Amino acid sequence: MRSHLLNDATAESYRLSVTEGVDRVANRLARTRQPFSGVTPDELAPVISAVDLDQPLGDTSAALDELEQVYLRDAVYFHHPRYLGHLNCPVVIPAVLGEAVLSAVNSSLDTWDQSAGGTLIERRLIDWTAQRIGLGEAADGVFTSGGTQSNLQALLLARQEAKTTDLERLRIFSSECSHFSVQKSATLLGLGPEAVVSVPVDRDKRMQTFFLAAELERCAREGLVPMAIVATAGTTDFGSIDPLPEIAELAQQYSTWMHVDAAYGCGLLASPTRRHLLDGIERADSVTVDYHKSFFQPVSSSAVLVRDGATLSHATYHADYLNPRRTIEERIPNQVDKSLQTTRRFDALKLWMTLRVMGADGVGSLFDEVCDLAATGWEILAADPRYDVVVQPQLSTLVYRYIPEAVTSPTEIDRANLYARKALFASGEAVVAGTKVNGRQYLKFTLLNPETTADDIAAVLDLIAGHAEQYLGENLVRVS
């Protein structure tokens, strides 16, 4: 069994094994004709259950053959131009290379004595990101597992900086389109059930600062404590960007922590043409960025940045065996002092390789391309009488619904759209997402693949219309 350990003696076997695996994936990618096979959980579950985990195959090739059946054949492929579903990006090759390197070396970024250069690389990338945001000299941050964790950590810092320890009195203000991790974080942080104040959005799905001001005023009047304002730079559903400069003004006026959730919109930090959409982000106290959304990085790759690095000490705990107090005086850089995690992946290496091979403009222009595509997609939808489209996109999301020519009840329109989404998924020809707008069922394209074309969008819209019409046709038959 020692032959399976990666070390000096097995270097050649490592090379062969990984190369064989890469070969399989490369073949699979080259042969993939649609984003999904359409397999159902009921079809796939017995295949996975049939594998006897106590009977190893003993051999890489055999395990890879099996992997074709249990995973690769039916996976959902984000690189396919007709994958238009959730906020998943196709990944860039330099980042995938970084992934292979980081798992083989297996550094752990909690302490210097488990990572050395890895720690310094992560710190450079944090500084690079903070500089792009404009957070100033005292800024700092740390890589996290994702936007959910980044938001949690930012709100933890905000809670500790708040001017009360009475958790019941703390309030967080975020738009009705903010990510559910804000609510989840509030619960995890021990805040009361009323803690998150949902601020209405305008028709472009951006927070209305008029209502934010009114809520802050009410909070003060009622003797409650404004703990944080969460501005979303790229809402998950619409890609809308809250008015950051106005929110920054209000945060200052009420001495409140301003957190910008740029999990989606962070790609603009590298955009050669659209960086101005994030103007005002430089006034944030903390920022969430998800490189695994708009920097074309493999999951996971995310970070939380803060204006004042000293605030990260709210996450600092010392353990004699790991990061004893003396290491601070000895100025040993232990990233665990800033993180909610202990053992932690060297995800930063993927971004490092990406920037070293492609450069920031290279990544940013890929994101620009999908934003351009969304603008074109909006025109296609707006000109198509079969569809109702909401919100002209700021980023790369389109939310729309099929509307039949014949008069039908709103419930039937909802059902037709839901049916179309499910039927499309079952066919595997394309994957789209869905959401609700004013209680009604809508469909959604999240465009993150520069390989997707306007023709793909048009073709998928035809497929959706076909499924929706089929549903309505069958339903009419059933009713009569």
Ligand X SMILES: *Cc1c(COP(=O)(O)O)cnc(C)c1O
**Where does this chain bind ligand X (CB under 6 A)?**
87, 146-148, 151, 179, 181, 232, 234, 236, 261, 263-264, 290, 302
37 upstream amide cis, omega within 30 of 0 = no
122 or 290: whose CB is closer to ligand X? 290
What's the min distance (Å) between Cβ of 289 and ligand X? 10
148 or 335: whose CB is closer to ligand X? 148
111 or 185: whose CB is closer to ligand X? 185
185 or 311: whose CB is closer to ligand X? 185
What's the min distance (Å) between Cβ of 12 and ligand X? 37
What's the min distance (Å) between Cβ of 151 and ligand X? 6
Residues 6+ positions from 352 with CB-CB distance below 8 Å: 98, 121, 124, 125
What's the min distance (Å) between Cβ of 233 and ligand X? 8
What's the min distance (Å) between Cβ of 189 and ligand X? 16
The answer to whether the beta carbons of residues 258 and 251 sit under 8 Å apart is: yes
236 or 417: whose CB is closer to ligand X? 236
4 or 436: whose CB is closer to ligand X? 436
87 or 336: whose CB is closer to ligand X? 87
Residues 186 and 179: their CA atoms lie apart, in Å, by 12
Residue 388 DSSP symbol: E
Residue 216, φ and ψ in degrees, nearest 5: -65, -40
111 or 339: whose CB is closer to ligand X? 339
What's the min distance (Å) between Cβ of 79 and ligand X? 19
Residues 340 and 146: their CA atoms lie apart, in Å, by 12
What's the min distance (Å) between Cβ of 264 and ligand X? 4
Residues 442 and 398: their CA atoms lie apart, in Å, by 10
Helices (H) and strands (E) in the chain, counts: 15, 12
What's the min distance (Å) between Cβ of 396 and ligand X? 12
148 or 452: whose CB is closer to ligand X? 148
What's the min distance (Å) between Cβ of 205 and ligand X? 12
Residue 296 DSSP symbol: -
Q: Minimal CB distance to ligand X: which residue?
A: 147
